[in-house]
Amino acid sequence: MLATAIPIFGRELRTAARRPMDALGALLFFVVVGSVFPLAVGPDAALLAAIGPGVVWVAALLAVMISLHRLFLPDLEDGVLEQLLLSPRPFAGIVGARIAAHWLVSCLPLLAAAPLLGLQFGLTAPAIGVLLLSLLLGTPTLVLLGALGAALTLGLRGNVLLALIVLPMCVPVLIFGSGAVAASQQGLPVEPHLSLLGACLLVAVCLCPWAVGAALRLAVE
Amino acid sequence: MDSLRRIDPQPLAPAATRRRNGWRRLASPAVFHGWAGRAVPCFAALAGVLAAAGLWVGFAVAPTDHQQGEVYRIIFIHVPAAWMSMFIFLVAAFHAAMGLVFHTRLSALMARALAPTGALFTVIALWTGAVWGKPTWGTWWVWDARLTSELILLFLYLGYLGLVSAIDDPRRADRGGAIVLLAGVVNVPIIYFSVQWWNTLHQGASVSLTAAPAMAHTMLAGMLLMVGACWAYAVAVALARVRCLIVARDSLARRR
C-alpha cells in the first residue's frame, strides 16, 4: 500500500507547488469569510467570542468545499485518472494518498491561519489551542467526505451539487468541532468532543477511500 | 406496454427453472412491470380505506387531550409521516445495496422511486411539526435533536435526488445514487446522536416497543391506522413511479 501511496503523494505535492494559487485560494477564502462575519453582526466583543468557534468552523467547512471542486477534475481531463484506474496497485490506496496530499496542501494552511481568526473573535489562548486540535482532527474527515462528493459529481455541470450532497454529512464534524472550542471557553472538558472527532475520522478513513474509488470508476466508465 | 411484454424475462432459463424461481422472477423489470400494474390499484384502495378509517377515528372518536386540547390531533398525520420519512430512507438504502451487490437493474429503480415519497413525508413531518409547535411550545421551530435530524434527512434526500437527476448515464446515476444512499445510512445515526447531545428540548417518545403506550387506546388505534395508510400510499406511489422508470429506461435503451 505504501509503495503505491508515496509516489502519488509526491506527485500531488509537486503539482500543487507549481500551481500555488489553487491551494492558496482556499486559505484566502477562509480568512475573508471569517473576517466578513464581524462586519455583519457588529463589533460587540462578547457576541463575537460566543459565535467565534462556530464561525471559524463554518468558514473552514466552506473553504474545504471550495477547494474540493477541482480535486479530481484535472486528472479526468488529461486522462491521468484512467491510467491510475488501469494500475494493478490497490485503487483505494491511490485515492487515499491523493486525499492525504490534498489535505496537506489545502487544509494545513487553514490551520496556520486559524489562530489569527481566533484572535479576531477574541478567543482565549487555550480556546485557540483547542480550535487548532479540533481542526487538525476534523478537517481530514471533511476532506474525505468531500472527496466522495467530488468523485460522485465529477464531470457534472455545476458545483452546487457537491455542497448539497456533502454538507449534510458534515454536520457531526461541525457540531463536535465547534462544540470542543465552546466547551473550552466555558471551562468544560474538551476530551469527549475531541474523541468523537477522532472516532468520526477513523470511520471516514476506513470507508471513504473505497467509496471514492468506486465513484471514480463510475465517473470514468 | 406490449413492447415490454415481448421481452422474455429469462430467455435462457427453461420453463421449470422459471417456475421454481418464484418471487425472484420479480427482479426482472419486464415481469415486475406487469405485477406492479396489478398491485398499484390494490395498494391505492387500501390506502384510501385506511386513511378514511384513521381520520374518522382520529377526528371523531378519539377523546380530546386533557393537556393540549384539540391541537394534539396533528399527531395522526405528524407521527406516521415522521416514521415513514426515516423508514423509506432505510428501504431505499436497502434497495441501493441490493443493486450494488447483485447488479439487479430493478433495485436502483426502486430506490429512485421511493426517494421522492420519502422526501415528501419528511416535508410533511417538518411542516406539521411546525404547526404543532406554535400552539404547544409557542414557536414554529426549535433547534432540537429530532427536528434538526429530520431537516438534515430532508437535505440527504434532496442531495440524492439532485445527484441522480444530474447524471445522464443511467448506470452511473444508479450506482452513484446508491453510494450516496449508503453513505447517508451510515451517517444518519451519527447525525442523530450528534444533534441529540448538542441540544434536546423535545418531549420523550410516547410510543415505544418495550413500555406500555402512554396514550388512550383509540388514539393509538387512529395513529396505527394512519401509519397503515401511509404505508399503503408509499407502496402504491413507489410502484407507479417504478413502472414509469422501467418504461423510460426501456425506451432509452431502445434509442441507443
Residue B10 lies in a domain: no
* Largest Cα span, chain B: 67
Residue B183 lies in a domain: yes
Question: Over 90: is that where the pLDDT of A31 sits?
Answer: yes
**Cβ-based contacts under 8 A for chains A and B:** 72
Question: Over 50: is that where the pLDDT of A182 sits?
Answer: yes
The total domain count for chain A is 1
Q: Which residues of A touch B167 (CB under 8 A)?
A: 156
Separation of CA A16 from chain center: 16
pLDDT for B85 equals 92
Of B163, B184, B194, the CB nearest to A153: B163
Q: Is the CA virtual torsion B115, B121, B123, B129 positive or negative? A: negative
How do residues A101-145 score in pLDDT, each as one tens digit?
999 988 999 999 999 999 989 889 999 999 999 999 999 999 999
Q: Quick one: pLDDT band at residue A167, thresholds 50, 70, 90?
A: very high
Residue B245 lies in a domain: yes
- Decide: B153 and B89 in contact? Cβ < 8 Å: yes
Contacts 24+ apart (CB under 8 A), A37-42: A38/A120, A38/A121
Residue B111 lies in a domain: yes
Q: Quick one: pLDDT band at residue A19, thresholds 50, 70, 90?
A: confident
Radius of gyration in angstroms for the set of CA atoms belonging to chain A, rounded to a whole number? 18
Distance CA(A205)–CA(A215), nearest Å, equals: 16
* Closest residue of chain A to B163, computed from CA coordinates: A161
Residue B12 lies in a domain: no
- Decide: A30 and A57 in contact? Cβ < 8 Å: no
Question: Over 90: is that where the pLDDT of A22 sits?
Answer: no
Q: Which of B100, B152, B172 to mutate to test the interface with A (most CBs of A within 10 A)?
A: B172
What's the whole-model pTM score? 0.85
Question: Over 90: is that where the pLDDT of A9 sits?
Answer: no
Question: Over 70: is that where the pLDDT of A91 sits?
Answer: yes
As separate numbers, helices (DSSP H) first and strands (DSSP E) second, chain A gives: 11, 0
What is residue B80's three-state secondary structure? helix
Q: Which of A180, A88, A84 is nearest to A127 (CA)?
A: A180
Q: Which of A121, A120, A116, A115 is nearest to A46 (CA)?
A: A121
pLDDT for B43 equals 93
Note down the domain range covering B96.
30-202+214-255
Q: What is the mean pLDDT of residues A197-220?
A: 92
* Closest residue of chain B to A179, computed from CA coordinates: B198
Q: Which of B147, B191, B199, B200 to mutate to test the interface with A (most CBs of A within 10 A)?
A: B191
pLDDT for B5 equals 47
Number of other CB atoms surrounding residue A35 within 10 Å: 14
Q: Which of A141, A152, A162, A188 to mutate to test the interface with B (most CBs of B within 10 A)?
A: A152
Exposed/middle/buried for residue B9 (C-beta within 10 Å: 0-12, 13-18, 19+): middle
Note down the domain range covering A107.
2-220
For cell 445527484, the residue is: B163
Separation of CA A193 from chain center: 18
Residue B20 lies in a domain: no
* Closest residue of chain B to A177, computed from CA coordinates: B194
Residue B11 lies in a domain: no
Q: Check A169 against B156: CB less than 8 A apart.
A: yes
pLDDT for B18 equals 53
Cell readout for A62 is 466552506
- b or e along A84-114 (b: 16 or more beta carbons within 10 Å of the residue's beta carbon)? beeeeeebbbbbbbbbbbbbbbbbebbeebb
The total domain count for chain B is 1
Torsion of CA A156, A161, A166, A169, to 10 degrees: -130
How do residues A37-49 score in pLDDT, each as one tens digit?
889 888 888 888 8
pLDDT for B201 equals 37
Q: Which residues of B touch A203 (CB under 8 A)?
A: 186, 190
List for chain B the helix, strand, coil content (%; round to 5): 80, 0, 20
pLDDT truncated to tens, each residue of chain B (256 aa)? 444 444 444 444 455 555 556 677 777 888 888 888 889 999 999 999 999 999 888 888 777 776 777 778 888 889 899 999 999 999 999 999 999 898 888 899 999 999 999 999 999 999 998 888 888 878 888 777 778 888 999 999 999 999 999 988 888 889 999 999 999 998 888 887 777 777 643 444 455 444 445 567 888 888 899 999 999 999 999 999 999 999 888 887 777 6
Which residues of A have a CB under 8 Å from any CB of B? 148, 152-153, 156-158, 161, 164-165, 167-169, 171-172, 175-176, 179, 196, 200, 203, 207, 211, 214-215, 218-219, 221
Q: Is the CA virtual torsion B73, B79, B85, B87 positive or negative? A: negative
Cell readout for B36 is 406492479
Residue B209 lies in a domain: no
- Decide: B181 and B110 in contact? Cβ < 8 Å: no
Q: Check B180 against A165: CB less than 8 A apart.
A: yes
pLDDT for B212 equals 47
